[in-house]
Structure 1
Amino acid sequence: MPPLTYLLACRIGSAGVVALSSIMLQLTLSGAPAHGEDTPAQTPLQHLLGDGNFEIGPDYTTDPDLTDQGNPKGKSFEFEMRLADSKIFRGDDATLDPKKTVRTARKVFVYVPAAYQDGTKAPLLIIHDGPARLDLVRNALDNLTISEHPDRRLPPFIAIAVQNGGDDSYGSERGLEYDTMSDRLARFINDEVLPAVVNNSEIRAAYPNIALTDDPDGRAVMGCSSGGAAALTMGWFRPDLFRRLITYSGTFVDQQDEDAAEEANYPLGAWEYHSGKKLIENSEKKPLRIFTHVAENDLRNQDPAETYHNWVMANRRTAAALAAKDYDYRFVFSRGTRHCDQKVFKQTLADTLVWAWQGYR
């Protein structure tokens, strides 16, 4: 089996391999990353830069880069956005179930890392279901924006964790925002949330010249479950706005409301990415970099295909479609874990962020 340095040599050249050798120790691949729907190749998945399919578990540890190592801290902010003030998600959509709770205001959590220099156009990471894993992302920024290893260094992106509109599944505001196959969420984040961040008085007081990049290559999105499906959907429908996508336990199933207007074109919701219309394979390749993950014991993992609700099947098929279309993608299958399992985040998120931001300048 090829050693890890062999894989890295193919990806980044001998100089990069030498630079990484001090941190990778004896890690090796037990097999080259496999494409398709078959069981992924086994690998520790630590400090890997390669694309493809990987398997981890069933034992897990916390990556030190996701812990507080005493490095300089950035600044945290929190504010609210009233749904009634939105032009895109007002909380009064005709598809909503009146029995399901809609928030009157959503919280927005912002972390500006210590490495950010006021006045520069910052790259950014949108995190769905805020605050979600913002705690781990903060530690990764504190530790990896100042990493001595150039191939394990993060750009000083600003993390923006946005709360969903409330409740879950069919007929909910969260479901409308995350499970609908349209560009609506991408527009909401771009047109309403990002301006609210840079114009927030508290943030402006700390960073008078704060700015966010307009370059879609400097804009990432992360989410789990329906938030993961939403990350892919934002990039899929608006690659001109967001191009680096991170999905854990992605809800690539038929979770879209039956009375949604989008049913006319996407009757199976996010299931259409990999089956039915086979959106990924049958569409022109988009300039996206996509991380996907699913857990061995993820939701409805024994359901037959005709239910359109097997999370493991959906994510395997999505990975296979990305491979067939030759996307820059990484798919992780985690043994002995469940839906959006904290153990998986604590072991992989630093590596995932580093992989997701590869090639950014």
Structure 2
Amino acid sequence: MKFAPLSTCCALIFPLMANLCPAAEKDFPEQSESTIGPDYQDAPETKEQNRVPKGEIREFTMDSKDSKIYKGIAKDQKGEVPYKRQVAVYLPAKFRASQVMPFIVVQDGIGYRDVMSRTLDNLIDEKRVPAQVAIFINSGGGDSKGSQRGLEYDTVDDTYSKFIEKEVLPEVTRRYKVKFTTDPEGRATMGASSGAAAAFTMAWFHPELYRRVLSYSGTYVNQQWPENNRTPHGAWEYHENLIKRAVRGAVVFRPLLVHVGAGVAEHPAVELGME
């Protein structure tokens, strides 16, 4: 594991106290680095096991011209901006079209496809999780405000949930004859960064559809665009207002099981006590 030069970290973490950095450079020159060990080891569950039955991965592409919900936008471009999105579907070993299947929807999914498919193979074989389908779906592209990805993931309403329910799941069913469970306890959603915000939003607005959420390094901040008067601070609203109101006694019952993973040094704001 390598550490960045202390002068760089200092400037990032304490931008208001950058005058302290030159003193640190006396003992830690800018080009210095240190290595500690042992190196990080991948969990054995993520590695392919020869004895374990393997699921299948099927892939297809969705075109914006076929969508009634997301026609396509891009930063600094006016009007509709066409896009294509990749989708990969993991079908567990011994999958049968007649089975009703639990499933997980993974945002920015193609990046998780290989390692998560291996992991599911192993966990299913060990009976640590039920046999399930995984849908690895990419966004429509770009990032942050004004992008298609930002529109999908950072908007705090149920539009993205509708997209998954009305356009993605039916297409997977049409292609691979998957019968998805309607039991919300068997429906999970997952993501990292803005993809985590999208995963949580899916369950928050539709707990009757999704009740299990995996959130990694979630971007629960205000990246929402266009602005929404109901949630003016974007995903920041969750920890600022929405969850607090729900705890006080909301009309909607949300029995959600949420795993939240984040590193304490992921962002300078955490070190400054601004999380």
Query: Residue 274 of structure 1: SS of its match in structure 2?
Result: helix
The verdict on how the C-alpha distance between 1:295 and 1:101 changes in structure 2, with shifts beyond 3 A counting, is farther
Quick one: higher RCO (CA 8 Å, sep 6+), 1 or 2?
1
> Residue 119 of structure 2 corresponds to which residue in structure 1?
140
> Residue 281 of structure 1 corresponds to which residue in structure 2?
244
1:180-218 CA-partner distances (Å, limit 9, x unpaired): 000000110011000000111xx3xxxxx5311122211
Unaligned ranges ≥5, structure 1: 1-57, 204-208, 314-361
1:33-112 → structure 2 map (5 Å cutoff):
60-70=40-50, 71-92=52-73, 97-98=76-77, 104-112=83-91
d(CA) in 2 for partners of 1:101, 1:303:
41
TM-score normalised by L of structure 2: 0.78
Query: Residue 136 of structure 2: SS of its match in structure 1?
Result: strand
d(CA) in 1 for partners of 2:44, 2:79:
40
1:303-350 CA-partner distances (Å, limit 9, x unpaired): 868xxxx6xx1xxxxxxxxxxxxxxxxxxxxxxxxxxxxxxxxxxxxx
Counterpart amino acid of residue 212 in structure 1: F
CA-atom RMSD, angstroms? 2.4
1:267 and 2:232 are equivalent in the alignment: yes
TM-score normalised by L of structure 1: 0.60
1:266-322 CA-partner distances (Å, limit 9, x unpaired): 1110111111xx2112113512110111112213435868xxxx6xx1xxxxxxxxx
1:145-196 CA-partner distances (Å, limit 9, x unpaired): 121xx5xx11111010111011000111100000000000011001100000
Unaligned ranges ≥5, structure 2: 1-37
> Residue 116 of structure 1 corresponds to which residue in structure 2?
95
Tell me which moved more, 229-238 or 61-70: 61-70
> Residue 351 of structure 1 corresponds to which residue in structure 2?
none
d(CA) in 1 for partners of 2:191, 2:111:
8
Counterpart amino acid of residue 146 in structure 2: G
The verdict on how the C-alpha distance between 1:227 and 1:237 changes in structure 2, with shifts beyond 3 A counting, is same
Q: Could you tell me how far 1:242 is from its partner in structure 2?
A: 1.2
d(CA) in 2 for partners of 1:103, 1:297:
37
Q: How many residues align?
A: 233
The verdict on how the C-alpha distance between 1:265 and 1:60 changes in structure 2, with shifts beyond 3 A counting, is same
1:183 and 2:158 are equivalent in the alignment: yes
The verdict on how the C-alpha distance between 1:78 and 1:154 changes in structure 2, with shifts beyond 3 A counting, is same
Query: Residue 132 of structure 1: SS of its match in structure 2?
Result: helix
Identity %: 42
d(CA) in 1 for partners of 2:157, 2:133:
25
1:69-104 CA-partner distances (Å, limit 9, x unpaired): 1111111111011112111111159xx641899552
